[in-house]
Amino acid sequence: MKWDYRRQAVLVAALLAVVSTIARSVNAEQAPGPADFEYNDLKFAKDLRSFQQAGWVQTYLTMGHRDEAWDKPAKDFLETFCHYASYELVWRGIRPDDVPSADAVRKLGNDVINLKCDDPQVRAAYGALLFESGNIPIARRELRAALVAMNDGKHPAYNILYVCNQLLQIDRQTSLAPDARATIDSAAVDASVRCMCNVPPTRAERYIRFRMIHMIAKDRPRIEDRIVKLLVTAKDVDPWLLGVFMGEYQTHLAWAARGTGTADTVTKDGWQGFEKHLQNSHTLLMEAWKIDPAIPGPAALMITVAMGLGAEGEESPRAWYIRSRSAKMDDRWALESMLWSLRPRWGGSYEELISLGQEFVSSKRFDTQVPAWMLETAWSISADRAQPLTITYAQPEIYKPLKEMFDGYAAALPAGPGRDWVLSEQALVATAGGHYADARAVVDQVGTKLDRRVFQSLSGNVDRTISQVYAYTGPHEKEARAATHEAETLDANAIKHFADLAAMCQPHDPEAYYYNSYLTEMRFKAEFAESKWVDVQPKDVLYLWSPIHGNWETNGEKLIGVCDGSGLMLRFGPMTGDAFELEAKLEYEPTSPGANACGIFCDHNGQTWANGVFYSVGFHDVSWYGNGKTGVVSHPLEKVNLLHLTMSAGKLTATFNGEPVPIPAMTPPARDLGANARVCIAGLYPDSQLNLVVTDLKVRKLVPGQN
């Protein structure tokens, strides 16, 4: 849906008058407070924690579904969730060590749910944690149940907005049914307006509420338009929230009028609408900013307005960027807008972007994220050039300030998880940019404290990536690089040369995994291309498989996965394409009460669980997610169960112990898995304690007409 910017003219005019009148009244009664030059993410997190404690914990205590069977665990879970969620967006390097991990908080939530707690605050918080962990099916169920219970006109508007935001993010990944989306939209619209009414006029209350409303309405004109309509008649609307919301809305209308094409494609009416709405936005945001310049938001949004209007001097993007950082020194909105305004298409240059990045590093504020904004600068340049980060990180003018930044944090931060994470990020950047000597030095320095999860953004096979660092800095560096080039260019000699390199290593040499992993994958691809069944059951090392969650190991002919509190998932490394069949025998025993299930699925990112079949020992059933549908049927189980999945033309079919799984026919059009389709073996409930045994794993590529 697109904005009809002409349709809103009358509403906008009315709201402009309202905002200006209220703002003048407020400004006449009180002078704006001084800007807090030291307000930052850590101080905001403290404000947010207090706000969320009042919203989640107090709501549970006053109107929650309480029972002595779960009352104390539920309260403890919600308090811990508020602590975690408040610091979730604080950069990991400076996050306090006492902030609980997502895995720990989710485990607490799972324990409460297993006590049959049905409180909507608990279910909402647990659902959000499940969504973050990648378990969309169960997260969606918990969040929808929470929304139904909360949407009674009594629960805090912010809590409802939080749940709606989670569900709308799920909708973007998996496309909810139209009626489900309509219900969420209506709840989000009503809660957004309620969230702007009768607001205590403090920085924390206003800023926290706007951040959530911004996440709900941004890029969703179907929701934003409805909020605007209701604001015309709403009573006791906070003038700051009204001004900043309508100011951002006017910016959206401006871009809708202009269009997203290059300047030569914009019509005369488009330019007129663009300027008109940006001028309206300027008026509204200026009024909000004057109410209290110490509240982040208006000044950051002004950067985009100034960019669009080509403003200079005290109205330039740079001037508003400085004002924004006066309100919050590490304001991410200001950063993102300033980086965008310096792109060449808006009259900036890559040299100016790099200069700004160096400015961040030179601040030496290693107690904040500001120096690390050099990373954001590199990402912005990479995106604008449409080039991989591996190329960007390789460039000396970008890598030099990045290394200076990382070295600064390493020297300034105390020993602990934050510093270990920063060093892990440094190893990642050095590896991605091909600075293998630097990468090896950092990996050796961090040792067993290396956060391997950060490398998942670079490669699906973290062990191979780290082993490559040693291969490219070891005694066989020249041969390793040559063999890799052969493999990447499909040279037939690659298999022989990787085999030779593997033979020169001892099994536990750090570079040995790189050679053996690459060799195993090349051999698999050659067999898979022949459309014959290929045995992919790991015998000793998980060369073709990457652990995502849980602890995985081999024991003879068995592949064994054990939950570690973060769930259980193993991802197949090679891409299978969208036409294949897979077979495996699964056996598991739950080691604790509560929901449990395991199975196999295939999707493009290991997160949507879009095409999968699972079975539950606890529920004695078989469930599926496929062809745009979900379902479950009671089914007799064996101790060891045979799953057979077939993906063809975007359609999933399956058998369970030889019997067809009743997956409904696909709703056209077919879902394209794309070139990145991969198979995953997983536990469906991330916090269920179970030990999974997998045997007889095999896969076959399908070609047209093959049975």
% pLDDT > 90, the chain = 74
Tally Cβ neighbours within 10 Å of residue 543: 22
Identify the pLDDT of residue 35.
45
Domain assignment present for 649: yes
Place 507 in a pLDDT band, splitting at 50, 70 and 90: confident
683 is in which domain, residue-wise?
545-701
Please say if the pLDDT value at position 5 is more than 70. no
The larger pLDDT score, comparing residue 458 to residue 427, is at 427
Report the run of H or E that residue 136 belongs to, with start and end: helix 136-150
Please say if the pLDDT value at position 533 is more than 90. yes
Please say if the pLDDT value at position 394 is more than 90. yes
Mean pLDDT (the chain) is 90
Give the least confident one: 247-261, 495-509, 520-534, 585-599: 585-599
Give the least confident one: 83-87, 176-180, 564-568, 657-661: 564-568
Q: pLDDT tens, 415-443?
A: 999 999 999 999 999 999 999 999 999 99
Domain assignment present for 269: no
643 and 650 in contact (C-beta within 8 Å)? no
- Cα angle 72-77-80, degrees, rounded to a multiple of 5: 125
Domain assignment present for 77: no
The pLDDT of 355-378, averaged and rounded, is 96
Q: pLDDT tens, 40-62?
A: 999 999 999 999 999 999 999 99
Give the least confident one: 166-170, 176-180, 665-669: 665-669
Please say if the pLDDT value at position 176 is more than 90. no
For residue 484, give both structure tokens.
């890799």
Q: pLDDT tens, 281-290?
A: 999 999 999 9
Give the least confident one: 117-126, 206-215, 225-234, 642-651: 642-651
124 and 143 in contact (C-beta within 8 Å)? yes
The pLDDT of 261-268, averaged and rounded, is 89
Domain count of the fold of the chain: 1
The larger pLDDT score, comparing residue 539 to residue 593, is at 539
56 and 159 in contact (C-beta within 8 Å)? yes
Which region, left, alpha or beta, applies to residue 340 given φ > 0 means left and ψ of -120 to 50 means alpha?
A: alpha
Q: pLDDT tens, 110-146?
A: 899 989 999 999 999 999 999 998 788 889 999 999 9
Please name which of 93, 644, 658 lies closest in space to residue 419, comparing C-alpha atoms. Answer: 93
Domain assignment present for 80: no
Q: pLDDT tens, 583-642?
A: 999 999 877 666 788 999 987 666 666 789 999 998 899 999 887 778 999 999 999 999
131-155 residues labelled b (16+ CB within 10 A) or e (exposed): bebbbbbbbbebbbbbbebbbeeeb
Domain assignment present for 257: no
Identify the pLDDT of residue 329.
93
Strands annotated E in 431-577: 534-535, 545-549, 551-555, 558-562, 569-572
Rounded-to-integer distance, Cα 627 and Cα 650, Å: 8
Please say if the pLDDT value at position 548 is more than 90. no
Q: Check whether the bond before 156 is cis (ω within 30° of 0).
A: no
Domain assignment present for 707: no
Domain assignment present for 643: yes
CA distances from 429 to 90, 93, 199, 458, 501 (A): 20, 15, 44, 9, 26
Domain assignment present for 657: yes
CATH number where 664 lies: 2.60.120.560
270 and 259 in contact (C-beta within 8 Å)? yes
Q: What pTM does this model have?
A: 0.86
